[in-house]
Structure 1
Amino acid sequence: MLFPVKVQYYKGLTKALKVAAAVIPMPKPTLFSGADSSLELCEAIHHLGIKKLLLVTDKVLVEIGLLNKIQAKLEEQGINVTIYDGILPDPTYDQVEKGLSILKKNKCEGILAVGGGSPIDASKAIAARATNDKSLEKMAGLFKIRKAPLPLFVVPTTAGTGSEVTIVSVVSDPDTHQKSPIIDPKLVPAMAALDGKLMLGLPPAVTAATGMDALTHAIESFISTNATDETRGYALAATKLIMENLETSVHDGKNFEARQNMAMASYYAGLAFTKAGVGYVHAIAHNFGALYSTPHGLANSIVLPHILDYSKSDIIPQLAELAKASALKTGRESNKQLADKFIARVRSMLQSFEIPETLDSLKKEDIPRIAKLALEEAHANYPVPKYMDKGTCEALIGKMVA
């Protein structure tokens, strides 16, 4: 078990983060939302006087033609566009540095990121490197970016990460695969477009995993000990929208209204966890990703019900509120009954999406290392509602062995 003095020390660290979140201004991007809002964003970039733009994305989006209208609109506005499509899932230092080299070679004045969390995270890092003579390794951590990054604009094509509104960029060491979060309010994009039309062709499996990622953000921020009235409001709004629209988005991918609502849910969840933080789900999921290259949304989905089971005794009122937001209250259920119904609802969603509660690549011999790194990450950064020691964490991760 954890010694009480350690728990108090960890709580002190997270209280300091809460004070910082209350004192340090957290900018929000100018938001465009709705069908073809990505094209409205292109016009806004023109109004800012930007003539040369680096468009950061991945090869798949280029190949399927998803960028064609955006590129045409930018060029119609007299903006010269250079495309960098070398971003892969879990972007690495070298991908960022290559993007920076292309940006400098073409004298780009701003960056437009189009894609999921990986292109957006990479673009944040490229924008910061463009104006700061500092390596990515030295930027990792809290508030280490001195100069404002290059103007950054984003169009998310998945509804999950909330990267369009967060203060975080996660990049990885290509050799160790260790993720290095860069955390600074200066990383928040200047503008973002939530265009549900761009998400209509997203495959069901990706839709499900990214949607569960957004739900994890909403849940972990809501049960966080650093939650405020503002973050709880955003988290509840995100939860309601996800519960009403995610299954439709997965099973009827051409439903524009559901897609647009999921984009807004992801945005709300991003606003919530930017200030309130996340927890053990993310800490463990990050290490699954680092060790096995598990997609982040899938990793969160697998870990989420196990952490809810562990934390339940200390968060029954919060889970009951989430159950109410999910329209699960049908009579005079107690808070405990509602908490159980909410966890059961999460599990039923995973079953509907054919997402297991185990990870095929997880090896028993890796569990001690994963637990150690996850606890170090969580206890230094996350305001978890119920602490655990290494033995408890190892046992919990052991339940995820296939």
Structure 2
Amino acid sequence: MALRSIVLVALLIGVATPAMAAEARQSTFGRLPDGRAVPAVTLTNKAGVSATVIAYGATLQSLMIPDRNGKRADVMLGYDKIDDYLKTPQYFGATVGRFANRIARGRFTLDGRDYRVPVNNGKNSLHGGTIGFDKVLWSVVSVKSGPAASVTLRYVSKDGDQGYPGTMTVDATYSLDENNALSIQYTATTDTPTLANITNHAYWNLSGEGSANGAMGLMVTIPANSYLPTDDGAIPTGEFRPVAGTAFDFRVPHAVGERVRDASDRQLVYGRGYDHNWVIGRSVTPSEHLMAKVYDPASGRGFELWSNQPGLQFYSGNFLDGTSSGKAKRIYREGDAIVMEPQIFPDTPNQPAFGSARLAPGQTYRNIMTYRLTTGQGAARPASSRR
């Protein structure tokens, strides 16, 4: 009997283990004009969630999530051909850096030396410059199936790239587990002091990227008591302004579109909506903390966003202008998606009160973000059971 029991247990283990494993599958998304292939890796779990990452821009190209009725939809704005990423770049799902967000006038001083980086957003530098991390081909380092399926991509940014000092080696790891947690981790090292602020620029429409519903009905919660007001060029003024009594107070849930067109608030006029950094903390923390909650009442889909970063850039898709059409062959218009980017504060190199963006040799930069997805059929395991 004992031998029979052992055999039975072994058989059960052999059956159960593959069923619990999330799968990673590699393919080719297309080719660049110079002939280089663009690898794609799709991560899939048993709950019907799947994420596709392409090596161009280390980009989250697709995220399929079931709704409360089990119907799957792609909730990421983006393209189904590499040619469109090249012809009409919009940062859809891309990794942005070396310095995400803006640097005023494309200038900063580091260790007593002045640097200039490309100005590509009015008078300012945005998302690393004209050829940032979103516009280069990354290398696939590893692809793994298992309890958490993952792909790790790498890019080596040479000394002087876009005007930044030091050779920086950056890894981007996407992983999807069976608890419906999609994680993105960025790490970076350098051989010379430089700046580091790397994040992901995913555009979310939880009703589906081809849905006419857009993102204005999404319910958003941000646990921040203050935010960073900006000038008319989206550069923070340096003030930490309380959210209380303003359209920027998301400490209790509000629909994105509820107050976004309030012309009495000059900040909404400057940004044509929300395009600001909320202050979750004042420094990077060792572990992740809650940054935001987003829920779509129409589909039942949603997520909690956790990260170790102090700031959250919340952008309400104000500059989607109808010049791009996505995977469902629908034109993307203003308000069709939202972006939530965990990061250090914009223009930190020029604003000492914001802390430091300096990365030195021997240090490792880390930005860890986890989207705990609600599928309508279930959600990611709560934080207390994940640590």
Q: What's the TM-score bracket when you normalise by the shorter of the two chains?
A: under 0.3
TM-score by length of 2: 0.27
Q: Which has the higher helix share?
A: 1
Q: Which has the higher strand share?
A: 2
